[in-house]
Amino acid sequence: MANSFVTVGDRFPQFEKKAVVSIEKGKEFKTVSNKDIEGRWAVMFWWPKDFTFVCPTEIAEFNKNYTNFKDRETVLLGASTDNEYVHHAWRVHHKDLTDLKYPMIADTSRSLAEELGILSAEEKVAYRATYIIDTEGIVRWLSINDLSVGRNVAEVLRVLDALQTDELCPCNWNKGQETIDAPVG
């Protein structure tokens, strides 16, 4: 039986999950859902496990680029199948994660990762998946890496820029470059 998964052109699934949004006492947790991205561009990226080696490099790099996403009026969300308490402990104890500006979503039931089709067969943890979701809630781009290979945040931003032009963008296109003017008819 073939695995089903959410792909380009599909509506991003409904979700409501606990997330770590702060390390400040009393303000650590919040529920995050589709309502938080409704009518806005969004990037949701997944990592396999907290307290690992490649994951914090990606999480920190997305954080370094938080302003770049905000400047593009794009909500940034991170997620894994670890629970919110593990996320919180990791943020508190990892110097590169203490000042995250976006939520760390806890998909402990694995329901969203399963619906997206991004759970690894052996460990049942999420692959390194990244989704760009448009203002209508439609997946416009996705990338999935194996567990051992980190992603390129600059590429996520480049693709987001291209999608937001709503024009034809050639190979290796970057913001500010000419788009393609295709004849109509």
pLDDT tens track for 51-92? 887 777 888 899 999 999 999 999 999 999 998 988 898 888
* CATH code, 147: 3.40.30.10
Task: Let me know if residue 153 belongs to a domain.
Answer: yes
Catalytic residue IDs: 55
Task: Let me know if residue 21 belongs to a domain.
Answer: no
Task: Let me know if residue 17 belongs to a domain.
Answer: no
Range of the domain at 161: 33-165
Exposure string over 129-164, b if 16+ CB within 10 A, otherwise e = bbbbbbeebebbbbbbbebeeebebeebbbbbbbbb
Number of domains the chain contains: 1
Task: Let me know if residue 125 belongs to a domain.
Answer: yes
* Whether the model pTM is above 0.85: yes
pLDDT tens track for 103-140? 999 999 999 999 999 999 888 999 999 999 999 999 99
Task: Let me know if residue 5 belongs to a domain.
Answer: no
CA dist., res. 136 & res. 90, Å (int): 33
Task: Let me know if residue 177 belongs to a domain.
Answer: no
